[in-house]
Amino acid sequence: MNLKNISLALLLILFSSTAFTQEKTLKVRPDAFPPVEEYGDTKALQMANTVDEMANWDRYPTYETYLQMMQQWTEKFPTLCHIDTIGTSVQGRLILSMYIQVQTFDEMYRPEFFYTSTMHGDELTGFVMMLRLIDTLLNGYGNNQQYTDLINRTRISINPLSNPDGTYRSGNNTVQGSVRYNANNVDLNRNFPDPFGTAPLNPQQVETAAMIEYAQNHNFRLSANLHGGSEVMNYPWDSYTSAEQPHPHRDWWIEVCKRFVDTSRNYSNSHFRDASNSGYIAGGDWYVIPNGRQDYMNYYHNCLEMTMEVSTVKKLSSNQLPEYWRFLQHSLVNYIGEIHSLPNGTNTISDIVKPTLRVLPNPTRDRILIDSETSEPVLIFDMRGHCVIERPAGTRLIDLQSLPCGIYILRCGTSTAKVVRQ
Ligand SMILES: [Zn+2]
């Protein structure tokens, strides 16, 4: 290599490092890594011990209050809703959904929509947003034209809390000790079958199995699962970057995300800005993650599901809940209506080509999972071309903590992948 070529190579390395630095300015995706537990001002998490104390929607319900709220809606609106029991958590708490539909002879022809929140038990904002959405839709039927039309045309299922053991980790009367995981300390958003066929690291949890069964027993065409820790609309895929495998309806997703973000910014211009300026992002372009719920629904059920990160703070102060409702309310309602203008060809979402080599998660702080169609030794090279790790054929899991942060090239047989160690 002459001097000119060496300079060119250095320039290329410098360029890729610069590009990486720019990528790093993105906020770390809260769903990418097990987070550091947040110890905020826990006094700010006011609890409602009775249904009446939820009147101003500025508290979190105790577990009992939550159950009573669900029960009271079915008593007040018996012809408009019923409770579906999706399943039971590890510790025996109920995973419930409010199923809203008008009962007429043609109800089976209405498309089914699904909202589900707080599969990460400490991401609390969506829990209360979903409760308030149920209340708003039910009370709005017959009084508000938009809500009435929406319910007349759609079957709507809303699951406010899909990981109750995580939310009530410190007991049924407080959410202060809420955690991301279920009672077995498993991240439920890494526990679903993956489009790439990657097996989850942990056995399937009862909460996951219940959700899979619920999806199998319905024909949801559009859904969203709500999270916290950032404010961004995260559309599929999470398992692939859009360069590897764009979602077949990416253009539609972008339009839907724009409408959601624009509407919310009409009510408060400061939101949906921490992860991307646009307020939306393809999940895999943020960080690739395996075994998430969103991709499972898209790939295995041909249901268009996205991940809504709705508040930068996971355990949002309860007195801020009304403000978040004010800017999210219209977007959340309008998103349900998107089910009536789905793109053509949603039955073929799963007809995708799988890359021959995948590394997950990427970027990574420690371990990577390797998915390769070939069984060959795994070699990892640094940017100077030195082999820094060598593992035998069939290796799936490698810990990169011994390596300095930076960019590496992983090779398995003839396939290569860029790996970023953070
Ligand atoms: Zn989450």
Rounded Cα distance, 391 and 370, in Å = 12
Mark the ranges of the chain whose per-residue pLDDT is less than 50.
1-25, 35-37, 39
Q: How far is the CA of 109 from the centre of ligand 1 (A)?
A: 33
For ligand 1, the distance from its centroid to the CA atom of residue 11, given in whole angstroms, is 39
Kindly give the distance from the C-alpha atom of residue 120 to the centroid of ligand 1, in angstroms, as a whole number: 5
Query: How far does the centroid of ligand 1 lie from the alpha carbon of residue 217, in Å?
Result: 25
Residues 58 and 54: their CA atoms lie apart, in Å, by: 7
Task: State in Å: Cα 122 to ligand 1 middle.
Answer: 8
Distance (angstroms) between ligand 1 centre and the Cα of 30 equals 7
- Residue 298 Cα to ligand 1 midpoint, Å, equals 18
Q: Of the candidates 220, 221, 307, which has an alpha carbon nearest to the alpha carbon of residue 257? A: 307
Strand order through the sheet with 357-360: 357-360, 367-372, 397-399
* pLDDT recorded at residue 351: 63
Rounded Cα distance between 217 and 148, Å, is: 26
Residue with tokens 């060598």: 390
Gap between the Cα atoms of 149 and 151, Å rounded:
6
117 CA distance to ligand 1 centroid (A)? 9
Q: List the structure tokens of 175.
A: 């959410």
What's the CATH class of domain 42-348?
Answer: alpha beta
pLDDT, tens only, 388-411: 999 998 888 999 999 998 888 888
* Strand pairing class (220-227; 378-381): unpaired
CA of 262 to the centre of ligand 1 (A): 23
Centre of ligand 1 to C-alpha 306, Å, is: 12
Could you tell me the distance, in angstroms and rounded to a whole number, from the CA of residue 227 to the centre of ligand 1?
4
Tell me how far apart the terminal alpha carbons of the chain are, to the nearest angstrom.
31
Q: What is the pLDDT of residue 141?
A: 97
CATH class of 357-421: mainly beta
pLDDT of residue 54: 98
Among 302, 294, 403, 210, smallest CA distance to 29 is for 294
- The model's pLDDT over 233-263, given as tens digits with 9 standing for 90+, comes to 999 999 888 888 889 899 999 999 999 999 9
**123 C-alpha vs ligand 1 centroid, how far in Å?**
6
Q: How far is the CA of 260 from the centre of ligand 1 (A)?
A: 19
Global pTM value? 0.80
Residue listed under structure tokens 């017959």: 142
Exposed e or buried b per residue across 320-347, where buried means at least 16 C-beta atoms within 10 angstroms of its C-beta:
ebeebbebbbebbbbbbbbbeeeeeebe
Same fold, 42-348 and 357-421: no
Say which residue the tokens 């577990």 belong to. 63
Contact 120, 188 (CB under 8 A): yes
Q: Where are the domains of the chain?
A: 42-348, 357-421
Q: Residues with Cβ within 5 Å of ion ligand 1?
A: 31, 120, 123, 227
Contact 9, 1 (CB under 8 A): yes
